[in-house]
A = this chain, B = another copy of it.
Amino acid sequence: MTMDNIGAVTQEILFLGTGIMGAPMARRLGLAGLSVVAWNRTENKAHELAGAGVRTVRDLRDLGCKLRLVVVMLSTGEVVDQVLFSPAAGCPVVEILTPGSVVIVMSSISVESALRQAEQLQARGIDYVDAPVSGGERGAMAGSLTIMAGGGIDTCQRIQPILAHLGTMTRVGAVGSGQLSKLANQLIVGISIGAVAEALVLAELGGADPRAVCNALQGGFADSTVLRQHGARMLDGRFDPGAHCTTQLKDLSTALALGSKLGGNFPLLTLCTELYATLCRSNRQSLDHSALYLEARDRTPLGSS
């Protein structure tokens, strides 16, 4: 792949949304020597970003030029809509883009929102890639995010060298496929947390040492990132949120609604969504998604201890 025809694109990158994930991502692009200008709804982290060579603006009309590459890490699909198509940032982003530009939405939003945004932009000759991530704040800071990209083959090839500063990008299909892949990720993570929770509860209920069981299982076919990271959280009782159980419930519900709309029946996903709904209705709704373990314990005589 050559960088030739993205020379113009990389002249200046507009980065929208410098929150928990966006700020370290924008920093990494700046530190890599790319020319980055950042915008956020509230004026945060401007000083920190300046240290990485990232300029910040409060109003897109102050940019004074048209841009060709936009990276979006805003909180929801609705906010992405507002900033792209209405004057939430001073003027709609679409008005400062030229045909042939690329918009990369790295927020986790619905497949439907991604398809709608892509359609609106493509009507103006602007390319769109949905590229949500897995890996959390730590992955954002380390540049080790898993990036699931949905978009045209050529467009994905063009943006790959830029996203390489943020993590490993895999093209998983046409527009919308990135968000679909993120839902598949959340489905596996949610159900795996439930499985590890039931396994550790069964082990303890039967009289084994659950910590030793958790260690032993890491050597075999049951090994997983969830067993290692969330197993340890469960046994330590550390439920300060990395990822909120409410976010997990939202993602599972979205996956389930999409699966149903496509005519499918997903029994494990359905049950796991119900289990997270129970968790989120309890007084534990502000905890990490690994707190599903506490619900699993409550379904046994261990719960009253």
Taking Cβ atoms with an 8 Å cutoff, the residues of A that contact B are 111, 134-136, 146-148, 150, 167-168, 170-174, 176-177, 180-181, 183-185, 187-189, 191-192, 194-196, 198-203, 205-209, 212-213, 215-217, 219-227, 229, 255, 258-259, 262-269, 271-272, 275, 296, 299-302
Contact = CB atoms under 8 A, between A and B. Distances in A.
A96 to B, nearest CB: 31
A132 B259 CA distance: 39
A177 B148 CA distance: 41
Contacts of A219: 134-135, 146, 167-168, 170
A171 B146 CA distance: 36
A217 to B, nearest CB: 5
A200 B184 contact: yes
Contacts of A207: 173-174, 176-177, 180
Contacts of A212: 170-173, 181
Per CB-CB distance, the 9 closest pairs between chain A and chain B, nearest first, are A134-B220, A224-B224, A264-B300, A146-B219, A170-B216, A146-B220, A191-B195, A177-B208, A188-B222
A174 B208 CA distance: 7
Contact of A184 (B203, B229, B266, B271): B203
A97 to B, nearest CB: 27
Given A111-B206, A171-B212, A275-B267, A199 B222 contact: no
A187 B201 contact: no
B206 A176 contact: yes
A146 B148 CA distance: 33
Number of copies: 2
Contacts of A150: 208
Given A180-B202, A188-B224, 11 more contacts: A170-B215, A173-B212, A180-B203, A181-B213, A184-B213, A184-B222, A187-B198, A205-B259, A205-B264, A221-B226, A271-B271
A134 B302 CA distance: 27
A267 B172 CA distance: 33
B195 A192 contact: yes
Contact of A299 (B220, B267, B271): B267
A212 to B, nearest CB: 4
Contacts of A198: 187, 191, 266-269
Q: Output the residue of A174, A229, A268, A296 with the most chain B CB within 10 A.
A: A268
A201 B188 CA distance: 12
Nearest to A295: B267
Contact of A146 (B184, B217, B263): B217
A209 B172 contact: yes
28 contacts: A146-B217, A146-B219, A146-B220, A167-B219, A170-B219, A172-B209, A173-B208, A173-B209, A173-B213, A177-B209, A177-B213, A180-B213, A181-B208, A185-B220, A185-B221, A188-B196, A188-B224, A191-B192, A191-B194, A201-B266, A202-B258, A220-B225, A221-B226, A221-B229, A223-B224, A262-B300, A262-B301, A264-B299
